Structure 1
């Protein structure tokens, strides 16, 4: 049976995540490497009572580090994926797991990404649940400065853009539920263009290797292993849509029978449960949950 490893993004973090890894030698080494790059301690932020973890600046590096450690520990137990994918920030965990870049290189990218996204302002994002897709697509096409940022499933998406444009869509599209997200900017939209240009200067300096297993990227949900193609997709990720609904369909076409969500929460297995009925779903958010 083919197995995909999937890596969640921002929003899946939980206070206390990774606390069970503090006594694991391999994890301790990773936490030390991370502190040298970040200038702060991932375990301290993850345990912080004042919820520093919910700040983009901290959320993204913490998730990447925890997901990378869990992937390492899974490989240590002889587990390997047949394909990988990650949701937004989770794509960095997926690329690390596929051997595309070193742990430190990925963390340097995530550090810069989190700084740029923390500084982003003036945009709005909103989650829409239960809607007519044709009506939504027509309204987005007619409304400047708003895009489909996360196409998560048939019934759940996130739109992103200027506050006026996002509010216009919320007013004109009938939904079961619409919720504005607590984020600083219009992520995964053209409004991130300046940030993306600055980020890409750093991205160009990082060595990418061919992936050991196929990677399904957010902006292009077709399997790829070529280093140059994967890097090109990551360049487009900050301004492009997260096409998770199509990634789910691709898993079905690839005959993936099992998905393991590597990281906290159950967001991606929740989406896959509805999109891929019959798929075996496993969550590995802690040391105890790693299959033996």
Structure 2
């Protein structure tokens, strides 16, 4: 049997109309109803909103969590089972759900509060850098206060996060093919999120974590883990810690993973992983039709 990992994308993968083929599925309807009770609004309506409400952090994260969780459930129902799971930023919550660390409702309550705190963040900025000299970038970050490597996606794509002046200093001082300021409300995955992370911890402490049924590669520590206390601690550090996705991709290869299925809308992680793991088969599950294909 092909050794397979499931990975779950985070904010940035959302799109108007995502999950549309799930809305009339009986099993999915129950999840959407549960989500509406917790959130106070309809995930399908937000996903279908033509004014792109789904791209507002407050809505993006719960919508992605709900849609991706349903897709994971459908895969499990078909008898598919991953050898490892991982998720990019918000996607880590879906990975933990898929590994049965917590139930759907508990995970959504965590995501709801996380989205509220991140949506209200107003300090700092983020920027994506593509095509750079890693040694020069790391040296510049080390010499510049108040900026960190927030998302280390692969050798040619990263996101930096920090105060506006620090981020702009890196953008102007490091040669790269492209540098783009991100349309986000704050400096996510940086120490500037410490206050939000402290508030989030009160919700995190109220959720019971179970031993993972399959190993989880966490953003802040990409080594496989199943212990509930370890996974809780890693999630606690995620809001202020870096997303070490390049190392997660390397870990997939080291673990003998032959196939990676990106579970969720879009192909963001597929593109990121391809550069680090060129010999791994990559597939996407963003709709019911995709499940039929990968289940063969």
Contact 2:154–2:246 under 8 Å retained in 1: yes
Contact 2:123–2:192 under 8 Å retained in 1: no
Counterparts in 2 of 1:32-47, with a 5 A limit?
32-47=33-48
CA distance in 2, matches of 1:163, 1:123: 5
Question: Could you say which residue in structure 2 is the equivalent of 1:78?
Answer: 79
Contact 2:259–2:281 under 8 Å retained in 1: yes
Unaligned runs of 5+ in 1: none
Alpha-carbon deviation of 1:22? 1.2
Alpha-carbon deviation of 1:122? 2.2
CA distance in 1, matches of 2:135, 2:23: 49
CA distance in 1, matches of 2:23, 2:240: 36
Which has the higher mean CA deviation after the structures are superposed, 263-272 or 188-197? 263-272
CA distance in 1, matches of 2:279, 2:238: 30
Counterparts in 2 of 1:101-250, with a 5 A limit?
101-250=102-251
CA distance in 1, matches of 2:18, 2:138: 37
Question: Could you say which residue in structure 2 is the equivalent of 1:55?
Answer: 56
Structure 1 residues 213-251: Cα deviation after superposition (integer angstroms, max 9, x where no partner): 000000000000000000000000000000000000000
Question: Could you say which residue in structure 2 is the equivalent of 1:7?
Answer: 8
Q: Secondary structure at the match of 1:73?
A: helix
Number of residue pairs the alignment of both structures matches: 292
Alpha-carbon deviation of 1:75? 0.6
Structure 1 residues 145-178: Cα deviation after superposition (integer angstroms, max 9, x where no partner): 0000000000100000000000000011000000
Structure 1 residues 114-137: Cα deviation after superposition (integer angstroms, max 9, x where no partner): 000000012110000011111101
CA distance in 1, matches of 2:3, 2:223: 16
Contact 2:124–2:162 under 8 Å retained in 1: yes
CA distance in 2, matches of 1:140, 1:42: 39
CA distance in 2, matches of 1:271, 1:52: 26
Unaligned runs of 5+ in 2: none
CA distance in 1, matches of 2:203, 2:273: 33
CA distance in 2, matches of 1:128, 1:229: 31
CA distance in 1, matches of 2:202, 2:143: 34
TM-score by length of 2: 0.98
CA distance in 2, matches of 1:49, 1:133: 40
Q: Secondary structure at the match of 1:268?
A: helix
Moved over 6 A (4+): none
Question: Could you say which residue in structure 2 is the equivalent of 1:258?
Answer: 259
Alpha-carbon deviation of 1:271? 1.2
CA distance in 2, matches of 1:2, 1:222: 17
Structure 1 residues 51-91: Cα deviation after superposition (integer angstroms, max 9, x where no partner): 11110000000000000000000011111100000000000
Question: Could you say which residue in structure 1 is the equivalent of 2:69?
Answer: 68
TM-score by length of 1: 0.99
Which has the higher mean CA deviation after the structures are superposed, 4-13 or 274-283? 274-283
